[in-house]
Amino acid sequence: MKWALRFFALLDLGCFAFMYDQASTQFQTFLVNEPLTSIEFFSRTLFLLLWLSLLVSAVFLSIPKKTGLIIYYVQLLPRLVFFAFSLGFISLLTYVLSWSWLQSVLMPMIIFAEMLRVYFSVRIQKEMD
């Protein structure tokens, strides 16, 4: 159980690192004196909150605390909206390999792996209670 949570923490930390460029771009849009619509403001704020919560959940999951799992559950919907999956770094293979069918095969596998993480997180939380 502890090792699974630490593995999940490592995945969250990797996701945090891979999303750094996107987060810095989103943050820089707040510094420009350009007016944002309410939807743009909401989506950019939600993305930055998701990005910061990845670091927080990585810390709490590496300790193994139940709080890390609760933060992960809150992250689920924004992760689906922004395609910020735990194993999303696997999709970087499409930049290395030029197979046209690879993206259509990898995305369902990545989403399935994320759902497996949800399943194992629920099981681990039940064991912690």
Q: Over 90: is that where the pLDDT of 94 sits?
A: no
Q: What does the pLDDT read at residue 98?
A: 83
What mean pLDDT comes out for the span 36-57?
Answer: 96
pLDDT, the chain, mean: 93
Give the residue-averaged pLDDT of 58-71. 95
Cα–Cα distance list, 78 to 26, 44, 87 (Å): 15, 11, 15
Q: Do residues 69 and 61 make contact, with C-beta atoms less than 8 angstroms apart?
A: yes
Domain extent at residue 97: 2-128
Q: What pLDDT does residue 56 have?
A: 97
The percentage of the chain sitting over the pLDDT mark of 70, rounded to a whole number, equals 100
- pLDDT for 119: 97
Total number of domains in the chain: 1
